[in-house]
Amino acid sequence: MVKPKAKIDEKQCLACCGCISVCPKDAIYWFGGKASVNPNRCISCTICVKICPVGAISGGGY
Amino acid sequence: MKYDVVVVGAGPAGCVTARFAAESGAKVLIIERRQEVGVPVLCGEGISRKIDSWDMLEGDRWIAGRMDGARIYSPDGTMVKLSADMAGNETGYVVYRDIFDQELARRAVKAGAELMLNTMATGLLKEKNKIKGVKAKRFDEEFDIYANIVVGADGVESKVGQWAGIDTCLKSKDLETCAQYTLTNVDCKDAYCDFYLGKDIAPGGYIWVFPKGKDVANVGIGILASLSKPGLAKKLLDKFIANDPRLKKGEPIRFLAGAVPVANPVETVRDNFILVGDSARQVDPITGGGLTCCLEGGKIAGEVIGEAVKQKDFSKERLSEYETKWKEAFGKKLKRNYMVKEIMLDMDDKTFNMLADSLKNYKFEELSTLSLVTALVKKHPTLLIKLKPLLKVSKETKRYK
């Protein structure tokens, strides 16, 4: 089964950039004052999902 | 556009670097992706009194409160009090970070630096692998900014560093994920910065309560990213506030999230390139405090850049004077504190309680790692095994001073 890619809920994202700084594939970037995922690069490792302080990221089983 | 220096990021590190480079006569441009300097405030807003002698800030508009000291609470509530003389190194002032940053930007501009807001770096300009400046985007307009030196001051998620070939990707064990409120209608009469430890309170980090005047406080949490679960930081912080009699009636006037590197510092120079501040991991891995490092490191960077511009030598060799100097000024301490962080992560709540109990009545002559370790080992000789590597580094650091 293919794990779902990380998805950021823009309404909840506070643009703290934690996810950007831990993404091992450089798949998250700053876009219009929020974090945004490039699904082509995302490997569903879920690091960003776990570390989001406000729980704005879903994916990879979470 | 052609400058001597382009600084990416108008935070404290970027602004101070820009100021000292401009004061040495360099033509400097700072670009900032946000529409306002200093906003949003991603910070606990505590800073050391050391800065008094640094000539960084004028007046006192940036000061929210002067602290009498710090109190550290172990998981069972045992309090260790550090008076201002001892704790002042870490907690001297609570500041208004937005004003603080804007003051630093003002000094940079006064020194001759230009500042461009709403401008995002999208890549580095390179010719034959040599860095020649940055590609930038402002609203829909894309343009090139040529510069002899590019300064990466783009914070924890530094992209500029990666573009320059420095591995700035953080492991989740080297990142604190943070959430914070500015609460009003709280009852924080004491001018103390409070820290709360414990794996149920803040795994791998702490909760802070920093008063900003009588009824306002900056209350936040940092947890180690590797111990985090989705949304855990906010959940634990909300729980703490709901159970704290001083805070539970408070209403947030600001809610923010942030991320703080608690890593070993990275390389900070390349040909035509310098990394400063959070992007260079210049943050104390124990406290997560980075302001003093930003200011101290930024000053060193600015001065070295100024000289490099005068000599027209932008090589890695020339710029590495910066790396040597900041490592001497505070890099060794960061390295040592990274080891302390690793040791602390291995300790359970019981050990923290025991340590706090041993220290609660201890009169610190100085707050240094060495004196702390000595005090602890006197009471608990078995700790010596755990703390031994630390003692060695601590003594070495002392010798260098």
Work out the widest C-alpha separation in chain A, in whole angstroms: 33
pLDDT attached to residue B122: 96
Pairwise CA distance, residues B389 & B166, whole Å: 29
Which residue in the block uniquely carries the two structure tokens 């020194």?
A: B111
CA A51 from centre of chain: 9
Q: Is residue B17 less than 8 Å (CB to CB) from chain A?
A: no
Find out whether B170 and B226 touch, Cβ atoms under 8 Å: no
pLDDT (mean) for B243-259: 95
Spatial distance between the Cα atoms of B259 and A15, rounded to a whole number of angstroms: 10
Residue B336 above 90 pLDDT?
no
Q: Which residues of B touch A17 (CB under 8 A)?
A: 155-157, 259
pLDDT digits (tens, 9 = 90+) for B374-400: 666 677 777 666 666 666 655 555 544
Q: Which residues of A touch B179 (CB under 8 A)?
A: 53-54
Task: For residues B89-99, give the mean pLDDT.
Answer: 83
Interval B291-305: pLDDT, tens: 999 999 999 999 999
Six-digit token pair at B12? 């404290």
The answer to whether the Cβ–Cβ distance between A50 and B228 falls below 8 Å is: yes
Report CB contact under 8 Å: B259, A21: yes
Least Cα distance to B16 among B49, B51, B44 occurs for B51
Pairwise CA distance, residues B163 & B387, whole Å: 39
Q: Which residues of chain A neighbour B178 with C-beta distances below 8 Å?
A: 16, 53
Q: How far is CA B39 from CA A16, B64, B96, B158, in A?
A: 12, 16, 11, 18
pTM above 0.80, yes or no: yes
Question: Residue A15 CA to chain centroid, in angstroms?
Answer: 11
Decide if B48 contacts B91 (C-beta within 8 A): yes
Question: Beta strand B141-152 with B93-95: parallel, antiparallel or unpaired?
Answer: unpaired
Tell whether the model's pLDDT for residue A41 goes beyond 70: yes
Q: Which residues of B136-159 are buried (b: 16+ CB within 10 A; e: fewer)?
A: bbeeeeeeebebbbbbbbbbbbbb
Q: What is the DSSP letter of B213?
A: S
Rounded-to-integer distance, Cα B274 and Cα B259, Å: 22
Could you tell me how many helices (H) and strands (E) chain B has, helices first?
11, 18
- The whole-angstrom separation of Cα B400 and Cα B354 is 32
